[in-house]
């Protein structure tokens, strides 16, 4: 988060973030709606999602696979953005869902995504979650251990059903992204060890009556910004397909996971066309059905976190204290991640920028959105938009420091609506109970 001369300027950020535009009179806009209007009407902090951006990115990704003549089923990773309105937009664009919990499965169904377009990944699925998947006969469960495979088979047989599964392979490939979001190294908790796959797959396909074993899945990590990890991971998978087929087993499906990175700062992020090309090169001749599970690439650039300056203060550093905090957007605190920050009022072309620390009000030094960021002057009550906040923002929010969850707004052209109201303190307290022995006789 340190000061870098290669940091994008205000204009660079605007150019690379079409979800927001600048109007000389109204300041920053999402679609045709001024962010200042949303701040007035809904209050800050709040999340603002541009439906058009989501739709466009869904289309662009599908187009990349079409251009590569690759039939791919696209499943949106719900963990990146789980709002029902966003899932509805993507469902209407023909996308399925990738879920990692019973809650996400219920959300995807509630948004109208059909069960046969839902895949269920995740390193620890409870019996209840697996039963839910069986009950709804979802597209497939990506199984992450021998133990889970046996448990799922038992549950399906008890329910007198069968369920489609793929085995998630741990290919021992380093995705060269942040260590905390790397999932395909041997030491990571995800997937089944590469060398254990052949015997487990054989047992599952030949002997487990509750399972319809379809193929293999992989997910290497998130915010992957180079082609090489995809190439390495998928090559491992393709070799495994050959091994299994040589053993007389059938492999019909390959789930390539998600992970495609975006440009937050100055990363040269790969385009979906790169992913499509790698998949075509490696799987094109294998005669398999392909799936992908991207999240961030679709949702991150579609959303901003809108916040107001509570105060500024001059210490060793100049501080700008926002009403948004790590309780809304935890990524900078958790991964030292960099997010563009734009003042909502258009800065005077003459205004000099100076280095400031942009922080939140939470009692943690890590509650810092940016250190020594070159920004035009900001004063109390000014608004700022924190960019690329549509993924792993609201879904990772907490109520730390008794801060109720922020409102979520969707803008679609000239229309806007609150799609999740701001939680109130009453909402927060309503589900808590003080044990009866404290209140008896009071
Ligand atoms: C199994 C699985 N699929 C898909 C994703 C989505 O990843 P991303 O948002 O990086 O595309 C994740 C998250 O890392 C995941 O764990
Ligand atoms: N939460 C991470 C991504 C993790 C993806 C889930 N496996 C982030 O904000 O970058």
Could you tell me if 217 and 280 lie in one domain?
Answer: yes
Q: How far apart are CA 190 and CA 219, in angstroms?
A: 9
Q: Which domain holds residue 24?
A: 10-50+300-429
Binding positions for pyridoxal 5'-phosphate? 259, 293-296, 392
The residue from 276, 294, 312 where one domain ends is: 294
Same domain, yes or no: 237 and 312: no
What are 46-100's pLDDT values in tens digits? 999 999 999 999 999 999 999 999 999 999 999 999 999 999 999 999 999 999 9
181 Cβ closer than 6 Å to some ligand 2 atom: yes
In this structure, the answer to whether residues 287 and 356 fall within a common structural domain is no
- Does any ligand 2 atom lie closer than 6 A to the CB of residue 225? no
- pLDDT-based confidence at 442, cuts 50/70/90? low
Ligand 2, atom 9: closest residue by C-alpha: 392
Pair 148, 250 in one domain? yes
Q: Does 304 lie in the same domain as 288?
A: no
Can you give the pTM of this predicted structure? 0.97
Label residue 2 by pLDDT band (50, 70, 90).
very low
Q: Which atom of ligand 2 is nearest to the CA of 221?
A: 7
Q: How many domains does the chain have?
A: 2
Which pLDDT tens digit goes with each residue over 401-414? Answer: 999 999 999 999 99
Q: Is residue 277 located within the same domain as residue 394?
A: no
- A 10 A CB-CB count for 436 gives 7
Write out residues with Cβ below 6 Å of ligand 1. 77, 80, 98, 121, 183, 219, 222, 257-260, 293-297
Q: Same domain for 137 and 234? A: yes
Instruction: Please tell me whether residues 280 and 311 are part of one structural domain.
Output: no
- CA dist 184 and 170 (Å) reads 5
210: pLDDT strictly greater than 50: yes
**Does residue 69 lie within any of the structural domains?**
no
| pLDDT greater than 70 at residue 5 | no
Q: Mutate which of 223, 257, 395, 398 to test ligand 2's pocket (most atoms within 8 Å of Cβ)?
A: 223
Average pLDDT over residues 181-196: 93
Strand pairing category for 140-143 and 96-99 = unpaired
Average pLDDT, whole number, for the chain? 96
What would the DSSP string read from start to end of 240-298? HHHHHHHTT----EEE----B---SSS--PPPHHHHHHHHHHHHTTS--EEEE---HHH
pLDDT at 351: 83
Bond preceding residue 242 cis, omega within 30 of 0: no
ipTM: 0.99
Main-chain dihedrals φ then ψ at residue 279, nearest 5 degrees: -65, -40
Same domain as 154, residue 278: yes
């Amino acid at each position: 988060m340190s000061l870098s001369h290669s940091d994008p300027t205000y204009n660079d950020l605007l150019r690379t973030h079409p979800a927001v535009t600048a109007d000389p009179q109204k300041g920053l806009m999402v679609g045709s709606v001024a962010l200042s209007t949303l701040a007035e009407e809904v209050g800050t902090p709040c999340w603002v999602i541009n439906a058009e951006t989501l739709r466009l990115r869904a289309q662009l990704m599908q187009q990349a696979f079409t251009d590569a003549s690759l039939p791919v089923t696209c499943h949106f990773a719900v963990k990146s953005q789980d709002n029902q309105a966003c899932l509805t937009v993507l469902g209407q664009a023909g996308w399925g869902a990738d879920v990692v919990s019973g809650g996400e499965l219920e959300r995807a169904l509630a948004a109208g995504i059909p069960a046969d377009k839902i895949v269920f990944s995740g390193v620890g699925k409870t019996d209840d979650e697996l039963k839910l998947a069986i009950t709804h006969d979802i597209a497939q469960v990506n199984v992450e251990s021998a133990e889970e495979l046996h448990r799922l088979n038992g549950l399906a047989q008890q329910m007198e059903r069968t369920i489609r599964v793929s085995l998630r392979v741990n290919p021992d490939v380093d995705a060269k992204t942040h260590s905390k979001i790397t999932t395909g190294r041997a030491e990571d908790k995800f997937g089944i060890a590469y060398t254990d796959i052949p015997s487990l797959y054989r047992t599952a396909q030949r002997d487990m009556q509750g399972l319809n074993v379809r193929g293999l899945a992989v997910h290497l990590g998130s915010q992957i910004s180079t082609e090489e990890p995809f190439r390495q991971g998928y090559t491992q998978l393709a070799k495994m397909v050959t091994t299994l087929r040589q053993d007389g087993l059938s492999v019909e499906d390959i789930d390539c996971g998600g992970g495609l990175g975006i440009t937050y700062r100055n990363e040269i992020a790969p385009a979906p066309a790169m992913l499509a090309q790698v998949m075509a090169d490696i799987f094109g001749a294998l005669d398999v059905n392909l799936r992908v599970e991207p999240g961030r690439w679709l949702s991150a650039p579609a959303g901003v976190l809108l916040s107001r300056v509570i105060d500024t203060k001059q210490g060793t550093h100049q501080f700008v204290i926002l009403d948004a905090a790590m309780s809304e957007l935890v990524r900078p605190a958790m991964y030292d991640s960099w997010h563009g920050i734009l003042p909502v009022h258009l800065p005077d072309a003459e205004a000099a920028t100076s280095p400031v620390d942009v922080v939140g009000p939470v009692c943690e030094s890590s509650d810092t959105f940016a250190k020594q960021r070159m920004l035009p002057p900001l004063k109390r009550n000014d608004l700022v938009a924190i960019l690329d906040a549509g993924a792993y923002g609201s879904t990772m929010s907490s109520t730390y420091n008794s801060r109720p969850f922020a409102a979520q707004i969707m803008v679609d052209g000239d229309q806007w609506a609150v799609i999740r109201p701001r939680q109130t303190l009453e909402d927060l307290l309503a589900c808590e109970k003080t044990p009866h022995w404290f209140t008896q006789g009071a």
